[in-house]
Amino acid sequence: MWDLIVDELNGSFSGVSPTVSAIRLLAAILLGGIIGYERERRHKPAGLRTHMLVSMAACLFILVSQQLGNLSFGTSGQKQIDPLRLIEAVTAGVAFLAAGIIFTSGGKVRNITTGASMWLAGAVGLACGAGQMPLAAMATVIVVLVLILLRWFEIAIGTHREDTAEDDVEAD
């Protein structure tokens, strides 16, 4: 029985090895967590856990697509595997989640930056799943720097209002 379980687990990693898959998933959760931590510190509705889950889910979708690419679905002319469809599905799903945290209150649209950071966490996860961890790490560092440095800049020039979120936008 144990041999059957081990064979099933080993045989199901035809596209990407279990070790590489684990590294990519862990990288996605770590990098998504870095983005989420910045949002968490700002007491935003989507913080550390949400960003980690979004990034890891996106990574998992890409890993699944790579596994599916190695399955036999007929001859090579009949095979219809398109990883871009999965990327589009992840993007749409994350956009739906991000839209859920954006709301209007008192004539202002709130949490747009947090919604955008969730979308970016999905992209970071996709990059990790595709084996592009250096690219995902660069994007993570850049986005955290943008979020922190622009907040400091807004405070310095007096446009940041502490009583409202830094990502409020006047509604028309």
pLDDT in tens, 52-93: 999 999 999 888 888 777 666 666 666 566 767 878 888 888
Residue 147 has pLDDT above 70, yes or no: yes
Provide the Cα torsion 67, 29, 103, 143; round to 10°: -110
How confident is the model over 106-118, as pLDDT tens digits? 777 888 888 889 9
Alpha carbon distance 117, 148 (integer Å): 13
> What is the predicted pLDDT for the residue at 65?
81
Q: Is the pTM of this model over 0.85?
A: no
**Is 125 in contact with 27 (CB distance < 8 Å)?**
no
pLDDT score of 128 more than 90: yes
Give me the pLDDT at residue 155, please.
87
Per-residue pLDDT tens digits for 133-146: 999 999 999 999 99
pLDDT at position 125, please?
94
Are the beta carbons of 118 and 101 closer than 8 angstroms?
yes
Residue matched to tokens 């595997």: 81
Calpha distance 52→123 (Å, rounded): 12
Residue 165 pLDDT > 60:
no
Q: What is the residue-averaged pLDDT of the chain?
A: 82
How many residues are recorded in the chain? Answer: 172
